Amino acid sequence: MVEPLRILSYNVRYFGHSLRGLASTRTGKRSIARGIASLAPLPHILCLQEVETSSLRSTLAFRPAKPEETQLESFMAELEHAFEELDRPFPYEAFYFRAHANRIGSRALSTMGLAMVVDTTRLRVEHHNALEPHPITHHHVRRFKDRKQARICAHLRVADRSGRALHLFNTHLSLPTPFAKEFWTGTDRMGFGVNQLHEARTLAEFVRRQSNGEPLVVCGDFNSPPGSPVYKFLTEEAGLVGVQNALGQIRGHPREFPTAGFLSLRMHLDHLFCNGRVRWLDLDGTLPFGDRRNPFHGKSDHVPLIGRFEIDGA
């Protein structure tokens, strides 16, 4: 019998939460690395959002070991060290998906991207789009196109020990655009943006085309709560299954089970989705934002979603 797979999806806020997002720190990387290394069972797949390459923000309070070292490389070094501390073998290979850079001249003030980390003792990576991530950004105002943060979808196709295929998609949708009148006239905003719905449609089409009916998991920060138009589109029109809803962890209310927070504000913005060829067993380790029992409490303005699943091999 093949052991189930475990996944962790987490917006790590470029490892800068200890300085309230002003700059990345070694403490931020180390604390998240130790949290991951302590999980039992270990995740076989890590999908991370808000990971930088190298910029003023990522190096202001943290000096990399080598000038050319990226944020993901320095995090992976911390993760490997955390495994050494626990005397656990290190099984991971990392892939970075570049999205956007804010520059003044040649100097990058901040950068943004996604990362996917795979346990290569359990999964064989057969395809990835790290060199050319799929763009999903909707530019509501064309003349501001070059100033808007680019949004992408990262994709891996992997196979398990039995040769069963699995498609993994990691993404981070935009915030709702303030350039639409609905932003100012409606009471709900997150997940109601016309740009967000456009990005969700672009994402769903990419997922459909790349997976071609094979088992798939889509995860990330969607900046959209359950019950929003974005969530409804993905689970109704696009035919994806909301994992937390399917396992009874949520019931569709937009403010239950927060996955992110700012000051006193609590929001459910992060999701796991799949198609009918993936069977979820549990969401053990997934706790709401603010729960102090969570080993990731206080390490980001989001909490990770963690779950185990099996692949349909038919």
pLDDT digits (tens, 9 = 90+) for 255-297: 889 999 988 899 999 999 999 999 999 999 999 999 999 999 9
Domains of the chain, residue spans: 5-311
- Non-local (6+) Cβ contacts of 281 within 8 A are 4, 307, 308, 309, 310
| Arithmetic mean of pLDDT, 131-157 | 78
Q: Which two tokens stand for residue 135?
A: 């763009």
**Can you name the CATH fold of 5-311?**
Deoxyribonuclease I; Chain A (3.60.10)
pLDDT band at 25 (very low <50, low <70, confident <90, very high): confident
Look at residue 180 in the predicted model and tell me its pLDDT: 44
How far is Cα 184 from Cα 189, in angstroms, rounded to an integer? Answer: 9
Look at residue 138 in the predicted model and tell me its pLDDT. Answer: 83
The confidence score (pLDDT) of residue 26 equals 82
| Burial 247-271, CB ≥16 within 10 A → b, else e | bebbeeebebbbbbbeeeebbbbbb
Per the model's pLDDT, the better-predicted residue between 101 and 22 turns out to be: 101
Of 104, 158, 128, the closest CA to residue 311 belongs to 158
Highest mean pLDDT of the ranges 115-124, 244-253, 305-314: 115-124
pLDDT band at 236 (very low <50, low <70, confident <90, very high): very high
pLDDT tier at 144 (50, 70, 90 boundaries)?
very low
Nearest to 200 by CA among 239, 230, 242: 230
β-bridge partners, 46: 8, 117
Closest by alpha carbon to 219, among 141, 307, 150, 131?
307
Query: 124 pLDDT exceeds 90?
Result: yes
Instruction: Name the percent of the chain lying above pLDDT 90.
Output: 71
- The dihedral over CA atoms of 82, 83, 84, 87, expressed in degrees to the nearest 10, equals 130
pLDDT value of residue 176: 93
For 53-94, how does the pLDDT look when each residue is reduced to its tens digit (9 = 90+)? 854 444 544 556 666 788 999 999 999 999 999 999 999 999
pTM equals: 0.90
CB 244 within 8 A of CB 274: no
Alpha-carbon distance of 303 to 289, in angstroms, equals 6
CB of 265 closer than 8 Å to CB of 236:
no
Is 202 within 8 Å of 209 (Cβ atoms)? Answer: no
Lookup: tokens for 129: 């789009």
C-alpha dist (Å) from residue 54 to 43, 58, 64, 100, 248: 26, 6, 9, 11, 40
Confidence (pLDDT) at 88:
97
The pLDDT value given to residue 190: 94
Q: Return the structure tokens found at 228.
A: 């929003």
- Coil, strand or helix at 159: strand
**Which range is most confident: 20-24, 85-89, 145-149?**
85-89
Give residue 106's pLDDT: 55
CB-based contacts of 290, cutoff 8 Å, min separation 6: 258, 261, 266, 297
**Confidence bin at 153 (pLDDT 50/70/90):** very high
pLDDT digits (tens, 9 = 90+) for 41-57: 999 999 999 998 854 44
pLDDT of residue 55: 46
Residue closest to 194 by CA, chosen among 173, 210, 214, 212: 173
Q: Position 12: which residue type? A: V
Q: Which helix (H) or strand (E) holds 95?
A: strand 92-104
Residue 221 CB-density burial (10 A; 0-12 exposed, 13-18 middle, 19+ buried): buried
Q: How does 117-133 read in b/e, with b if 16+ C-beta sit within 10 Å?
A: bbbeebbeeeebbbeeb
